[in-house]
Structure 1
C-alpha cells in the first residue's frame, strides 16, 4: 500500500482534496477580484493595496466563526447560509469602524471531506463577499478524522478592511441627546444557538420540519436564515458624508454587552423596547424556553442587528437614505448622562 492509500485508510483523501481548488475556481470566477495579484491555489494570497485616495490609511481586521448554528445546518443538510453567515460575522464587525472590506479568507475543517457541503459553503462565502463588495482572496480546507466526527465540520473567517485615519467610527464623539437608530436583523443571525438547540431539540424535542403557528414556516428555515450583511447600508451613508458617531453590531451579548463597547463612560443608552417590530422567532423562543427579558436582550439581537448613534440633526436624512435603499430602520432610543455605577444600557 502506497503513502496516499495509507493516508486515505487513515481517513484523509488526497484526491478529493486536490479537487477543492477546481471547485473554488468555478464558483468564484465571476466574482470581482479587485486587487488580487495571485490566483487561487498558491501558498498565500497576494493583494495590491491602492492607497492613492487615502491620506492616512488604517487597516482593520476581524475574525469570527458561526458557532453551533452549524449543528442545525448539518441536521438540515443545508449549508450555503452558513457560508453567508461566516462572511457576515466578520464584515459586519469591521464596518462598525467605518472600514471598507478589502479581502476575505476562510478556514474549513471537516471530520470527513464532503463535496456537497464544501461546495455549498463556498457558494455562500462567495455570495457574502459579493454583497459586501469584498474580494475572496483565499482559504484553507482541512480533513481531520479523530478531531471531528465524520459528519461534523467547523469554519472560521478572516477579513481585512481599510479606513481613513480621521474617519474611524469609535464612539468617542457620542454625547448626551444623540439618537439611537436600529436596523433590523434577518432573524437570529449566528448567536445564541447553544440555547436555541437546548430549548428546541433537547427540551421540546421539536423537528426541523415542524411549522409553529406563530412562525408560519418550517422551524429549520427560520433557524437557518442567513445573517444580514450591513456593509452596503453603512458604505452608502458614509459616502454621503453623514456622520455616524457610533456603530454596534449586535451579536453574542445582545444589547446589554455590545452597546457599552462603543459608549463613553459618562453616557448610557436608553432603549425603548417597543420601538420596533420583533420577529416572531424571538417571542416563540422566549415563551418556549421561559427566558427572562433580561436574558433575551443579553443573548439575542431581538430583531435589531445593527445600531447607529447619530446627532439628532442628521436623523431625518439618515432615515430617508436608509429607506431609499429599501431597508427599514427604527428610532429605538437616545443617549443620556450616566451616573456613577449606573448601567450603560437601560431598557424601558
Structure 2
C-alpha cells in the first residue's frame, strides 16, 4: 500500500480548510492600501502617500516561552497580540508607522480551532496597531514538534521619513524620561519567571496575586503603543521599547555617546508580580530581565512634558544626564 502525505502526519486538506476559515478574520484588518486577497504567493501592499523621503523598516520577533503557558493552560485568545506587539513596538522606536504584518504558525499537528483562535488574536493585535495582516504561513511538522505544541513568529513592516530615523541627534542633556506603563511582563523573561514561580516558589495557575489568578497575570497580552506614538509623536525626541535586557540595556540604545540616564526606582509603577519574582532573584537581575512595569520610555524635551502627561498615562521616571549607561537610584 502506498503512503500518503497524510499518513506522514501532514493534512493538505486541513491546511486548505484552515485558510478558508480565517479569511473573514484576516480581511477585517484590510485597508485601502492592501492589494489582492489572502491566498496568493505573496501579500501586496500599496505604498502610502504623504512621505517626502520614505524609508521601509522591518521587524521580526516571536512570543518566547510565554507561549508554553498558553499551551499548558489551553488559552489562545491573546497570545497573537503579543506577537504583533513585539514587532510593532520596535518599529515605532525608529519613528516608523506600521503598515502590514505577516505571521508564521508551525505545529506538530494542525488543530483548526486552536490555530483559528491564535489568528483571531493576531487580528486583534493588528487592529490595535493599525496595520493590515496581508499574509502568513502555516506549517505542519510532526517530526519537529511534540504533540499539541506550536510556535509563532511575526514580521512587521513600517514606513518612516529618512530624516526622522536617527533619534539620537534629538536627545540632549536634561531631557526628561517618561514611561508608558507595561501591561505586565509583556513577552520577556518568562524562562526565569516560570522557573521562579513554578519551581522555586511552587505556585500554580490558580494562585492569586492582588486578587488575580497567576495565569491571568502571566498571560496578560503585551500592550501595543502604536496609537500612543502617533498621538505623541510631535513631542518625542526618542523612544525605547523595554524588552529583553530591561531598562538597563534597552534605554542606552537611543542615547548618544557621552549621554546616560538616571532612573528613580521609587517613581516606577511596578506591578506586584515583579516583587513576587524578586523573592528569589537579585534586584540587578530583575532590572536586566524584566520591564519592571515600564513598557516604553519616551525621551521628552522639558518644555513638552506637560503636553505628554496631559495626553497619555505616562509618568516621569528620570532624566538624561552627561554620563554613560543607566544609573538606578
- TM-score w.r.t. length of structure 2: 0.97
State whether residues 31 and 126 of structure 1, in contact with CA within 8 Å, keep that contact through their aligned partners in structure 2: yes
* Equivalent position of 2:213 in the other structure: 218
Aligned with 1:150: secondary structure? coil
**CA positional deviation for 1:306:** 0.1
Which of 315, 320, 323 is the aligned partner of 1:330? 315
1:242-274, Cα deviation, whole Å (9 max, x unpaired) = 2x1110000000011101111112011100001
Q: How does 1:121-136 map to 2 (within 5 A)?
A: 121-136=118-133
**CA positional deviation for 1:300:** 0.2
Q: How does 1:1-348 map to 2 (within 5 A)?
A: 1=1, 6-50=4-48, 52-168=49-165, 170-211=167-208, 214-238=209-233, 241-242=234-235, 244-287=236-279, 290-322=280-312, 328-338=313-323, 343-348=324-329
- TM-score w.r.t. length of structure 1: 0.92
State whether residues 34 and 135 of structure 1, in contact with CA within 8 Å, keep that contact through their aligned partners in structure 2: no
> Mind listing any 5+ residue stretches in structure 1 that lack a counterpart?
323-327
Aligned with 1:7: secondary structure? coil
Superposed structure 1 runs of 4+ greater than 4 Å apart: none
State whether residues 169 and 245 of structure 1, in contact with CA within 8 Å, keep that contact through their aligned partners in structure 2: no
State whether residues 187 and 279 of structure 1, in contact with CA within 8 Å, keep that contact through their aligned partners in structure 2: yes
Whole-Å Cα distance in 2 between the matches of residues 316 and 80 of structure 1? 37
1:163-213, Cα deviation, whole Å (9 max, x unpaired) = 1122235222211111000110000000000001111222333221222xx
Whole-Å Cα distance in 1 between the matches of residues 168 and 138 of structure 2? 37
State whether residues 271 and 333 of structure 1, in contact with CA within 8 Å, keep that contact through their aligned partners in structure 2: yes
Whole-Å Cα distance in 2 between the matches of residues 271 and 204 of structure 1? 29
**CA positional deviation for 1:62:** 0.4
1:51-75, Cα deviation, whole Å (9 max, x unpaired) = x311100111100000000000011
**CA positional deviation for 1:2:** 5.7
Aligned with 2:317: secondary structure? strand
Larger fraction in strand? 2
Whole-Å Cα distance in 2 between the matches of residues 63 and 31 of structure 1? 19
Whole-Å Cα distance in 1 between the matches of residues 227 and 166 of structure 2? 16
State whether residues 54 and 162 of structure 2, in contact with CA within 8 Å, keep that contact through their aligned partners in structure 1: yes
Whole-Å Cα distance in 2 between the matches of residues 156 and 170 of structure 1? 27
Aligned with 2:266: secondary structure? coil
**CA positional deviation for 1:30:** 2.7
